[in-house]
Amino acid sequence: MDKIPHPLSVIWTGEHLRLLDQRKLPIETVYLDLFTPEEVWDAIYTLVVRGAPAIGIAAAYGLYLGIAQVEDEAAFWKKLKHVADYLNSARPTAVNLSWALKRVQEKVEQQKGQPLAQLKAAVLAEARAIHDEDAEMCRRIGENLLTLLHDGMGILTHCNAGGLATAAYGTALAPIYLAKEKGWNIKVFADETRPVLQGARLTAYELQQAGVDVTLICDNMAGVVMKQGWVQAVIVGTDRVAANGDVANKIGTYSVAVLAKEHGIPFYVAAPTSSIDLHTPSGDQIPIEERPAEEIIAGFGKQTAPSAIKVFNPAFDVTPAKYITAIVTEKGIIRAPFEKGLQEHVSK
Protein backbone atom coordinates (compact mmCIF):
# COMPACT_ATOMS: atom_id res chain seq x y z
CA MET A 1 0.00 0.00 0.00
CA ASP A 2 1.45 3.33 -1.03
CA LYS A 3 -0.48 5.14 1.67
CA ILE A 4 -1.62 3.64 4.96
CA PRO A 5 -5.37 4.44 5.04
CA HIS A 6 -5.57 4.83 8.83
CA PRO A 7 -3.66 6.66 11.57
CA LEU A 8 -0.40 5.06 12.70
CA SER A 9 -0.65 3.47 16.14
CA VAL A 10 2.99 3.95 17.23
CA ILE A 11 5.24 6.89 16.36
CA TRP A 12 8.77 7.61 17.57
CA THR A 13 9.30 11.36 17.40
CA GLY A 14 13.07 11.17 17.78
CA GLU A 15 12.89 12.07 21.46
CA HIS A 16 9.78 10.43 22.90
CA LEU A 17 6.98 7.98 22.12
CA ARG A 18 3.67 9.06 20.63
CA LEU A 19 0.77 6.60 20.75
CA LEU A 20 -2.65 6.74 19.14
CA ASP A 21 -5.17 6.47 21.98
CA GLN A 22 -7.24 3.59 20.63
CA ARG A 23 -9.73 3.94 23.47
CA LYS A 24 -11.03 7.09 21.76
CA LEU A 25 -11.63 5.54 18.32
CA PRO A 26 -13.63 5.79 16.15
CA ILE A 27 -15.02 9.07 17.52
CA GLU A 28 -11.78 10.93 18.14
CA THR A 29 -8.23 10.67 16.81
CA VAL A 30 -6.07 11.56 19.80
CA TYR A 31 -2.33 11.02 20.27
CA LEU A 32 -0.61 10.82 23.66
CA ASP A 33 3.02 11.84 24.15
CA LEU A 34 4.88 9.54 26.55
CA PHE A 35 8.21 10.31 28.20
CA THR A 36 8.65 7.64 30.90
CA PRO A 37 8.43 3.84 31.17
CA GLU A 38 5.66 4.31 33.74
CA GLU A 39 3.57 6.11 31.15
CA VAL A 40 4.27 3.36 28.62
CA TRP A 41 3.30 0.65 31.14
CA ASP A 42 0.01 2.43 31.82
CA ALA A 43 -0.67 2.87 28.09
CA ILE A 44 -0.19 -0.86 27.50
CA TYR A 45 -2.30 -1.91 30.47
CA THR A 46 -5.16 0.50 29.80
CA LEU A 47 -5.33 -0.37 26.07
CA VAL A 48 -4.15 2.96 24.72
CA VAL A 49 -1.99 0.69 22.58
CA ARG A 50 -3.09 -2.89 21.92
CA GLY A 51 -2.36 -5.71 19.54
CA ALA A 52 0.65 -7.93 20.19
CA PRO A 53 3.07 -6.39 17.62
CA ALA A 54 2.22 -2.80 18.60
CA ILE A 55 2.61 -3.63 22.29
CA GLY A 56 6.06 -5.05 21.63
CA ILE A 57 7.13 -1.99 19.66
CA ALA A 58 5.85 0.39 22.34
CA ALA A 59 7.59 -1.58 25.10
CA ALA A 60 10.93 -1.49 23.24
CA TYR A 61 10.74 2.30 23.07
CA GLY A 62 9.61 2.37 26.71
CA LEU A 63 12.79 0.50 27.63
CA TYR A 64 14.84 3.20 25.96
CA LEU A 65 12.94 5.94 27.80
CA GLY A 66 13.77 4.15 31.04
CA ILE A 67 17.56 4.22 30.51
CA ALA A 68 17.96 7.43 28.52
CA GLN A 69 18.91 9.54 31.55
CA VAL A 70 21.17 7.05 33.33
CA GLU A 71 24.59 8.58 34.00
CA ASP A 72 26.94 5.63 34.67
CA GLU A 73 27.37 2.14 33.21
CA ALA A 74 26.71 0.20 36.44
CA ALA A 75 23.39 1.97 36.87
CA PHE A 76 22.61 1.39 33.18
CA TRP A 77 22.67 -2.41 33.41
CA LYS A 78 20.66 -2.44 36.63
CA LYS A 79 18.11 -0.04 35.22
CA LEU A 80 17.86 -1.93 31.91
CA LYS A 81 16.81 -5.14 33.66
CA HIS A 82 14.51 -3.38 36.12
CA VAL A 83 12.63 -1.46 33.41
CA ALA A 84 12.34 -4.54 31.18
CA ASP A 85 10.87 -6.62 34.03
CA TYR A 86 8.52 -3.78 34.91
CA LEU A 87 7.21 -3.29 31.37
CA ASN A 88 6.86 -7.04 30.90
CA SER A 89 4.34 -7.11 33.76
CA ALA A 90 1.85 -4.85 31.96
CA ARG A 91 0.07 -7.63 30.02
CA PRO A 92 1.07 -11.27 30.47
CA THR A 93 -0.57 -12.99 27.50
CA ALA A 94 0.99 -11.25 24.49
CA VAL A 95 4.37 -12.92 23.98
CA ASN A 96 5.54 -10.10 21.69
CA LEU A 97 5.91 -7.96 24.80
CA SER A 98 8.53 -10.21 26.40
CA TRP A 99 10.02 -11.05 22.98
CA ALA A 100 10.72 -7.41 22.12
CA LEU A 101 12.18 -6.60 25.54
CA LYS A 102 14.39 -9.70 25.47
CA ARG A 103 15.57 -8.92 21.93
CA VAL A 104 16.64 -5.41 22.92
CA GLN A 105 18.44 -6.67 26.02
CA GLU A 106 20.30 -9.39 24.10
CA LYS A 107 21.37 -6.92 21.43
CA VAL A 108 22.74 -4.51 24.02
CA GLU A 109 24.53 -7.33 25.85
CA GLN A 110 26.63 -7.71 22.71
CA GLN A 111 27.85 -4.13 23.24
CA LYS A 112 29.22 -4.70 26.76
CA GLY A 113 32.40 -2.75 27.35
CA GLN A 114 31.41 0.05 24.97
CA PRO A 115 30.91 3.65 26.16
CA LEU A 116 27.61 4.44 27.89
CA ALA A 117 26.42 6.62 25.00
CA GLN A 118 26.87 3.70 22.61
CA LEU A 119 24.94 1.37 24.92
CA LYS A 120 22.03 3.80 25.01
CA ALA A 121 22.16 4.20 21.24
CA ALA A 122 22.04 0.42 20.85
CA VAL A 123 18.80 0.24 22.86
CA LEU A 124 17.13 2.86 20.68
CA ALA A 125 18.49 1.37 17.46
CA GLU A 126 17.05 -2.05 18.28
CA ALA A 127 13.67 -0.57 19.21
CA ARG A 128 13.58 1.22 15.87
CA ALA A 129 14.62 -1.96 14.06
CA ILE A 130 11.72 -3.87 15.63
CA HIS A 131 9.39 -1.06 14.56
CA ASP A 132 10.68 -0.92 10.97
CA GLU A 133 10.71 -4.69 10.51
CA ASP A 134 7.08 -5.06 11.58
CA ALA A 135 5.61 -3.36 8.52
CA GLU A 136 7.55 -5.58 6.11
CA MET A 137 6.81 -8.68 8.18
CA CYS A 138 3.07 -8.01 8.15
CA ARG A 139 3.08 -7.45 4.40
CA ARG A 140 4.73 -10.84 3.92
CA ILE A 141 2.11 -12.45 6.16
CA GLY A 142 -0.52 -10.88 3.93
CA GLU A 143 1.15 -12.17 0.77
CA ASN A 144 1.29 -15.71 2.17
CA LEU A 145 -2.33 -15.61 3.28
CA LEU A 146 -3.42 -14.25 -0.07
CA THR A 147 -2.39 -17.55 -1.68
CA LEU A 148 -5.15 -19.23 0.36
CA LEU A 149 -7.86 -16.78 -0.75
CA HIS A 150 -9.57 -15.82 -3.99
CA ASP A 151 -11.59 -13.00 -5.48
CA GLY A 152 -15.20 -12.79 -4.31
CA MET A 153 -14.70 -14.46 -0.92
CA GLY A 154 -16.46 -13.62 2.31
CA ILE A 155 -14.07 -13.45 5.27
CA LEU A 156 -14.94 -13.23 8.95
CA THR A 157 -12.50 -11.77 11.46
CA HIS A 158 -12.59 -11.30 15.23
CA CYS A 159 -11.14 -8.47 17.31
CA ASN A 160 -8.62 -6.18 15.58
CA ALA A 161 -5.51 -7.65 13.98
CA GLY A 162 -5.19 -4.80 11.53
CA GLY A 163 -2.91 -1.86 11.01
CA LEU A 164 -3.90 -0.33 14.34
CA ALA A 165 -2.51 -3.40 16.13
CA THR A 166 0.85 -3.25 14.33
CA ALA A 167 3.23 -0.79 12.71
CA ALA A 168 1.17 -0.50 9.53
CA TYR A 169 -0.59 -3.34 7.70
CA GLY A 170 -1.81 -5.67 10.40
CA THR A 171 -1.63 -9.46 10.43
CA ALA A 172 -5.12 -10.86 9.83
CA LEU A 173 -6.13 -7.81 7.81
CA ALA A 174 -2.95 -7.62 5.71
CA PRO A 175 -4.34 -9.96 3.00
CA ILE A 176 -7.51 -7.87 2.89
CA TYR A 177 -5.49 -4.76 2.08
CA LEU A 178 -3.42 -6.64 -0.51
CA ALA A 179 -6.59 -8.05 -2.09
CA LYS A 180 -7.91 -4.49 -2.30
CA GLU A 181 -4.72 -3.46 -4.12
CA LYS A 182 -5.29 -6.29 -6.64
CA GLY A 183 -8.85 -5.14 -7.28
CA TRP A 184 -10.44 -8.18 -5.68
CA ASN A 185 -13.97 -7.95 -4.33
CA ILE A 186 -13.59 -9.24 -0.77
CA LYS A 187 -16.46 -8.91 1.68
CA VAL A 188 -15.48 -8.82 5.36
CA PHE A 189 -17.67 -9.60 8.35
CA ALA A 190 -16.24 -8.05 11.51
CA ASP A 191 -17.32 -9.35 14.91
CA GLU A 192 -17.85 -6.43 17.29
CA THR A 193 -15.77 -8.32 19.91
CA ARG A 194 -17.21 -7.84 23.35
CA PRO A 195 -16.64 -6.36 25.85
CA VAL A 196 -14.26 -3.63 24.63
CA LEU A 197 -15.55 -3.71 21.03
CA GLN A 198 -12.23 -3.73 19.18
CA GLY A 199 -14.00 -5.11 16.11
CA ALA A 200 -16.63 -2.38 16.10
CA ARG A 201 -14.39 0.52 17.09
CA LEU A 202 -11.20 -0.45 15.28
CA THR A 203 -11.56 -3.14 12.60
CA ALA A 204 -14.75 -1.71 11.12
CA TYR A 205 -13.21 1.77 11.29
CA GLU A 206 -9.93 1.00 9.53
CA LEU A 207 -11.49 -1.22 6.85
CA GLN A 208 -14.10 1.43 6.11
CA GLN A 209 -11.34 4.04 5.87
CA ALA A 210 -9.60 1.80 3.30
CA GLY A 211 -12.74 1.41 1.20
CA VAL A 212 -13.16 -2.30 1.99
CA ASP A 213 -16.66 -3.83 1.89
CA VAL A 214 -17.11 -4.50 5.62
CA THR A 215 -20.23 -5.52 7.56
CA LEU A 216 -20.26 -5.25 11.35
CA ILE A 217 -21.98 -8.05 13.28
CA CYS A 218 -22.47 -8.85 16.95
CA ASP A 219 -20.35 -11.74 18.20
CA ASN A 220 -23.38 -14.02 18.59
CA MET A 221 -24.33 -13.53 14.93
CA ALA A 222 -21.25 -15.32 13.53
CA GLY A 223 -22.97 -18.70 13.38
CA VAL A 224 -25.92 -17.35 11.41
CA VAL A 225 -23.63 -15.59 8.92
CA MET A 226 -21.72 -18.84 8.39
CA LYS A 227 -24.93 -20.84 7.99
CA GLN A 228 -26.09 -18.40 5.30
CA GLY A 229 -23.01 -19.34 3.26
CA TRP A 230 -21.60 -15.83 3.34
CA VAL A 231 -18.24 -16.79 4.89
CA GLN A 232 -15.61 -18.86 3.05
CA ALA A 233 -12.72 -18.28 5.48
CA VAL A 234 -12.04 -17.03 9.00
CA ILE A 235 -8.81 -15.09 9.63
CA VAL A 236 -7.73 -14.00 13.10
CA GLY A 237 -4.54 -12.75 14.71
CA THR A 238 -2.90 -14.12 17.82
CA ASP A 239 -1.07 -12.99 20.93
CA ARG A 240 0.73 -16.30 21.46
CA VAL A 241 1.13 -19.63 19.67
CA ALA A 242 2.09 -22.55 21.91
CA ALA A 243 4.52 -25.25 20.77
CA ASN A 244 1.67 -27.67 19.95
CA GLY A 245 -0.22 -25.14 17.81
CA ASP A 246 -2.75 -24.00 20.39
CA VAL A 247 -3.41 -20.28 19.93
CA ALA A 248 -4.30 -17.54 22.41
CA ASN A 249 -6.30 -14.68 20.96
CA LYS A 250 -8.99 -12.22 22.01
CA ILE A 251 -11.83 -13.76 24.01
CA GLY A 252 -14.44 -15.19 21.66
CA THR A 253 -11.95 -16.59 19.14
CA TYR A 254 -12.44 -20.13 20.44
CA SER A 255 -16.20 -19.90 19.82
CA VAL A 256 -15.61 -18.68 16.27
CA ALA A 257 -13.21 -21.57 15.62
CA VAL A 258 -15.72 -24.15 16.81
CA LEU A 259 -18.41 -22.63 14.61
CA ALA A 260 -16.08 -22.60 11.61
CA LYS A 261 -15.25 -26.28 12.13
CA GLU A 262 -18.95 -27.17 12.31
CA HIS A 263 -19.64 -25.33 9.04
CA GLY A 264 -16.57 -26.68 7.19
CA ILE A 265 -14.94 -23.24 6.92
CA PRO A 266 -11.11 -22.96 7.05
CA PHE A 267 -9.79 -21.16 10.12
CA TYR A 268 -6.52 -19.31 9.54
CA VAL A 269 -4.30 -17.70 12.17
CA ALA A 270 -2.04 -14.84 11.08
CA ALA A 271 1.02 -14.81 13.31
CA PRO A 272 4.41 -13.14 13.15
CA THR A 273 7.12 -15.66 14.03
CA SER A 274 7.75 -13.58 17.16
CA SER A 275 4.36 -14.74 18.49
CA ILE A 276 5.42 -18.41 18.40
CA ASP A 277 6.43 -19.52 21.90
CA LEU A 278 8.17 -22.90 21.76
CA HIS A 279 8.85 -22.68 25.51
CA THR A 280 5.12 -23.03 26.24
CA PRO A 281 4.13 -26.66 25.51
CA SER A 282 0.39 -26.09 25.05
CA GLY A 283 -2.36 -23.56 25.50
CA ASP A 284 -2.96 -24.83 29.02
CA GLN A 285 0.25 -23.10 30.12
CA ILE A 286 -0.50 -19.72 28.51
CA PRO A 287 -1.24 -17.11 31.21
CA ILE A 288 -4.63 -15.54 30.57
CA GLU A 289 -5.08 -11.95 31.62
CA GLU A 290 -8.28 -11.06 33.46
CA ARG A 291 -9.58 -7.55 33.02
CA PRO A 292 -11.50 -5.32 35.46
CA ALA A 293 -15.17 -6.15 36.08
CA GLU A 294 -16.11 -2.57 35.17
CA GLU A 295 -15.51 -3.34 31.48
CA ILE A 296 -18.65 -5.49 31.60
CA ILE A 297 -20.68 -3.88 34.39
CA ALA A 298 -20.23 -0.32 33.13
CA GLY A 299 -18.54 -0.50 29.75
CA PHE A 300 -17.77 2.92 28.24
CA GLY A 301 -19.21 4.65 31.32
CA LYS A 302 -22.78 3.33 31.11
CA GLN A 303 -23.89 0.84 33.74
CA THR A 304 -25.63 -2.18 32.23
CA ALA A 305 -25.47 -4.70 35.10
CA PRO A 306 -25.90 -4.69 38.91
CA SER A 307 -22.90 -3.15 40.66
CA ALA A 308 -22.28 -6.08 42.99
CA ILE A 309 -22.67 -8.85 40.41
CA LYS A 310 -19.85 -11.40 40.11
CA VAL A 311 -17.97 -11.04 36.81
CA PHE A 312 -15.64 -13.31 34.86
CA ASN A 313 -13.74 -11.20 32.33
CA PRO A 314 -10.79 -12.98 30.68
CA ALA A 315 -9.20 -10.90 27.93
CA PHE A 316 -8.22 -13.97 25.90
CA ASP A 317 -9.15 -17.59 25.26
CA VAL A 318 -7.20 -20.50 23.80
CA THR A 319 -8.20 -22.18 20.53
CA PRO A 320 -6.95 -25.80 20.42
CA ALA A 321 -4.80 -26.71 17.43
CA LYS A 322 -7.41 -29.19 16.16
CA TYR A 323 -9.65 -26.31 15.11
CA ILE A 324 -6.92 -24.49 13.15
CA THR A 325 -6.50 -25.07 9.42
CA ALA A 326 -3.18 -23.24 9.10
CA ILE A 327 -0.93 -20.80 10.93
CA VAL A 328 0.50 -18.24 8.51
CA THR A 329 3.64 -16.24 9.27
CA GLU A 330 5.98 -14.01 7.29
CA LYS A 331 8.03 -17.14 6.53
CA GLY A 332 5.24 -19.30 5.15
CA ILE A 333 2.26 -21.53 5.90
CA ILE A 334 2.26 -24.12 8.69
CA ARG A 335 -0.25 -26.96 8.77
CA ALA A 336 -0.73 -29.91 11.11
CA PRO A 337 1.13 -31.57 12.69
CA PHE A 338 1.85 -28.16 14.17
CA GLU A 339 4.41 -29.17 16.78
CA LYS A 340 6.89 -30.35 14.16
CA GLY A 341 6.02 -27.59 11.72
CA LEU A 342 6.43 -24.80 14.27
CA GLN A 343 9.82 -26.08 15.39
CA GLU A 344 11.08 -26.28 11.81
CA HIS A 345 9.59 -22.89 11.04
CA VAL A 346 11.24 -21.05 13.93
CA SER A 347 14.60 -22.66 13.19
CA LYS A 348 14.61 -21.37 9.57
50 appears as a binding residue in the annotation: yes
249 appears as a binding residue in the annotation: yes
91 appears as a binding residue in the annotation: yes
DSSP assignment of 311-348 equals ---BSEEEE-GGG-SEEE-SS-EE-SSHHHHHHHHHT-
CB neighbours of 141 closer than 8 A, spacing ≥ 6? 171, 174, 175, 270, 271, 272, 328, 329, 330
220 appears as a binding residue in the annotation: no
117 appears as a binding residue in the annotation: no
Comparing C-alpha atoms, which of 234, 239, 138 is closest to residue 191? 234
Active-site positions read: 239
52 appears as a binding residue in the annotation: yes
**E strand or H helix at 128:** helix 116-146
Greatest Cα pair distance, the chain, in angstroms, is: 65
CB neighbours of 303 closer than 8 A, spacing ≥ 6? 297
Give all strands of the β-sheet with 267-270 in edge-to-edge order: 213-217, 187-191, 154-157, 233-236, 267-270, 326-328, 333-334
**Residue positions in the annotated binding site?**
50-52, 91, 198, 249-250
**Residue positions in the annotated binding site for substrate?**
50-52, 91, 198, 249-250
